[in-house]
Structure 1
């Protein structure tokens, strides 16, 4: 029993149905809503929860786990032999050093802080390295500790209000880079600490671009928590869009791009809610913003650009559970135009989800293999990719099952 009086779904000997009901209620999903998302009837779900029907097969369990954002299959099934982290990847070897730098607040000033211009140059190199590296967390994780310490020092040593605002803008962007590293690792408290500090530093900077980026990442953190966070994600996104609107008529590509990225985020959350019209309307708005950017411009943080809108269309269709539309959008999207290896891998994962929805399991698995070629760390930390691979290891097709097993081994899934 948890401290708030709610039964703990992870305490034995709760049955599968009881665990499912508790987790569903904690996510704020009604029985008809969850049943509809599963393509089942509310009565079917009621019988599962009441124990009048046995536990469904693995593909259905995996879909339930996806919808409820269950971190570990054992939390849902109670079977520790199925212990697999779904939406949290393994802790990276550089996580302790990054965590230590984030948590530390040294007060002694024993050296001169770098200038804001120097920090910006290092940040530009760090973003470029992230986009070019297949193992981008390794690259970023090596750079972050010194960047975090120097960014904090620059804020403390700023002598004028203008210098302090510039330093805060740099520090906010450093926290943005940190959030990319920390995301989907086993330390949610650290993720929120980074997101909140990034937003505070951005507000102190009074820089529209920094504020937009911090809002974009904060909205993602809320949304990735599941349906209970959708309202908070919408509130952050819409407020940030409203804040940026006065700047847009004379904005440079950076500010235009973060506005477009926020517009797409609003559509993304709407798609997660199942709001078809709203989701595509926001995608249209973001596409119009993208057309205002220089043809070759690519935002280094959000990847927002003209080229990314095709990938964003795939994501909207996938989140709306529209398999045929997902495949149609995947065929239209120009993946070659995505210069970032981790973002390309993410797009391949979204394509794979679309193919799986459309019943093209073989193509989905082949697409995940292409994602792995582009950026192994992206697929290793992506819960949706992990779900597809795990499901295909149970395929009735021996060749596909063996193929999935090879990829599962490369991703470190189901390891003892």
Structure 2
């Protein structure tokens, strides 16, 4: 082999500890922070990273993977034969159709655009269908290509500036709906493209609700990219709240709701940072905003409502790694008041995380089974649920191991 040949990256594999250190540094997390969130000592983290301690057991590896937002478990373990996507679900069969609709450049006016009111009505029905469906990605995958094309055409053929702004608000929300389909699928570039186009359309619309929704989703995308992007998530959230603030005195329910949803997002990010006081202060603000909504109101995009605040409290406690508090919040939350099947399933997953944190793995598995019954596609694409199930397939308790294996097969975790 010539001296200038590219070396084989697997000839001298990087050890687990080195991989952990690289990923931790990439996420902008210090050893003390990682140690605290794992419930380990700083010296333990240092010993693992320097190779004084070998690769830990699977339950600990999975907790490290969750903390560092590792997408593929082999990126952390180095074992290329056991590639497991933790925070990216499988590609949906309709993903190519949705991708094609987003990527298409159609400048010719080969048909008349449908009226904006017609597209808006279809969009409202699409949101309703998503909330009612157990397999909501299948429903959205069928509806989105036509909605995207028609919303784009409505903007392009607008006759006046006012009509164009209305069309842009609708187009922005169509992109928002698209993000619910694309999220956690194996095309992160498409997710960011949809998020950016949604934000551009929202800004062109000058509509506070559209801007709030686009910012709410963009903040989530930043936060899910890891701790190094928490500041970007906060900046997006705060700027949107600042813009919406002046509309709130006379706002309708949907604008009030998006303000409340953004307030909770600020609390969510604070909880991910480990800032307990700040996280609960934002939750209190969101809860006060929810109290302003009309009785029974449920925001179609964010699910923000008085009913969802209990579920949000569970999430804050879980992200703060407070096992006992998160279980208490889970017991207090009224899940029967959540009308959306995918949102209910997401809440069940958060409850399962709470029970897992509190050392109740059997209850965690039972709760994940309830999440699966509510909306199979939600748990199939959720990294936290996948982590818990995979961890419990290694349980020393045979009955629990078998239960976890059955659930793993149901959600497609064991698929080749």
Shorter-chain TM-score bucket reads over 0.9
Structure 2: gaps (5+ residues): 1-6
| Matched position secondary structure for 1:153 | helix
| Matched position secondary structure for 1:292 | coil
Is residue 9–residue 22 contact of structure 1 (8 Å, CA) maintained in 2? no
Is residue 97–residue 145 contact of structure 1 (8 Å, CA) maintained in 2? yes
Q: 1:162 to 1:8 in 2, by over 3 A?
A: farther
Matches within 5 A, 1:120-159: 120-159=120-159
Give the match for residue 3 of structure 1: none
Superposed displacement of residue 82, structure 1: 2.6
Tell me the alpha carbon deviations over residues 209-265 of structure 1, each in whole angstroms, 9 at most, x when there is no partner.
Answer: 000000000000000101011000000001111111111110000000000000000
Give the TM-score of the pair, scaled to structure 1.
0.97
The question of 1:17 aligning with 2:11 is answered: no
| Matched position secondary structure for 1:123 | helix
Is residue 83–residue 414 contact of structure 1 (8 Å, CA) maintained in 2? no
Measure the CA separation in 2 of the matches of 1:8 and 1:25: 24
Give the match for residue 89 of structure 1: 89
| Matched position secondary structure for 1:359 | coil
Q: 1:298 to 1:9 in 2, by over 3 A?
A: farther
* TM-align CA RMSD: 1.3
Superposed displacement of residue 81, structure 1: 3.3
Superposed displacement of residue 41, structure 1: 1.3
Give the match for residue 239 of structure 1: 239
Tell me the alpha carbon deviations over residues 11-43 of structure 1, each in whole angstroms, 9 at most, x when there is no partner.
Answer: 951111111111111111111111111111111
Tell me the alpha carbon deviations over residues 70-127 of structure 1, each in whole angstroms, 9 at most, x when there is no partner.
Answer: 0111110011233110000000000000000000111111000011111110001000
Give the TM-score of the pair, scaled to structure 2.
0.97
Give the match for residue 113 of structure 2: 113
Is residue 175–residue 194 contact of structure 1 (8 Å, CA) maintained in 2? yes
Measure the CA separation in 1 of the matches of 2:51 and 2:93: 42
Moved over 2 A (4+): 7-12
Measure the CA separation in 2 of the matches of 1:402 and 1:409: 11
Give the match for residue 338 of structure 1: 338
Give the match for residue 272 of structure 2: 272
The question of 1:306 aligning with 2:306 is answered: yes
Q: 1:8 to 1:297 in 2, by over 3 A?
A: farther
Give the match for residue 327 of structure 2: 327
Give the match for residue 351 of structure 2: 351
Measure the CA separation in 2 of the matches of 1:252 and 1:38: 43
Give the match for residue 44 of structure 1: 44
Superposed displacement of residue 10, structure 1: 8.5
Superposed displacement of residue 415, structure 1: 2.3
The question of 1:218 aligning with 2:218 is answered: yes
Measure the CA separation in 2 of the matches of 1:203 and 1:81: 46
Superposed displacement of residue 136, structure 1: 0.1
Superposed displacement of residue 330, structure 1: 0.5
The question of 1:256 aligning with 2:256 is answered: yes
Q: 1:259 to 1:51 in 2, by over 3 A?
A: same
| Matched position secondary structure for 1:47 | helix
Give the match for residue 3 of structure 2: none
Structure 1: gaps (5+ residues): 1-6
